[in-house]
Amino acid sequence: MGAITLARLGGDEGVGHLLGNALVFGGVLGEAAYVLLAKRIAGTVPVVTASLWMQGFSAAMLLPLSLPGLGAMAALAEPSLAGLLVFHSLTASVLCLLLWYAGLRRVPAGVAGIFTAFLPASSSLVAVAVLGEAFTAVHGVGFVLMGASLLLATWARGRG
């Protein structure tokens, strides 16, 4: 992410670019807080309970942002959209969190935090493969840096 941001510093995006960087930085801070809170919870309660607590915490944090869209909830009754919502809930929210908390019991929070880099990496790959975004050398540098950070964070741990 840093490589892409630095490559665009000379561009003419202006305030939108700064706002985008601030939003990404806020997302990184939120993800870091989530990992640390999840690590604390995962060590003290069963995995299913930790997943439930974090889903509740996430819902409480996002509730104020969802209030303007409450009028559109009737659209969720459409079968195809409801099916996608159920699929997403079971995979991204339930299955992934159960696996995440089971893994957090076995690795330090710092190592788990490094692996959150897969989220923007997979998003970038989807943007290139599905949405037709151009893959540039800057993206390649970013992927190399991400891979190096994963190796540095996990390699020394396995040797010690």
Maximum mean pLDDT: which of 68-72, 75-79, 127-131 = 127-131
The answer for residues whose C-beta is within 8 angstroms of residue 69's C-beta and 6 or more apart is none
Is residue 2's pLDDT more than 70? no
Residue 13 vs residue 100, higher pLDDT:
100
What contacts 24+ positions apart, CB below 8 Å, involve 23-32? 28/1, 31/113, 31/116, 31/119, 32/113
CA end-to-end distance (rounded Å), the chain: 30
pTM above 0.85, yes or no: no
Is residue 80's pLDDT more than 80? yes
3-state secondary structure of 1: coil
What average pLDDT does range 104-112 have in this prediction? Answer: 76
Query: What band does 13 get if pLDDT is binned at 50, 70 and 90?
Result: low
Is residue 39's pLDDT more than 80? no
Residue 15 vs residue 156, higher pLDDT:
156
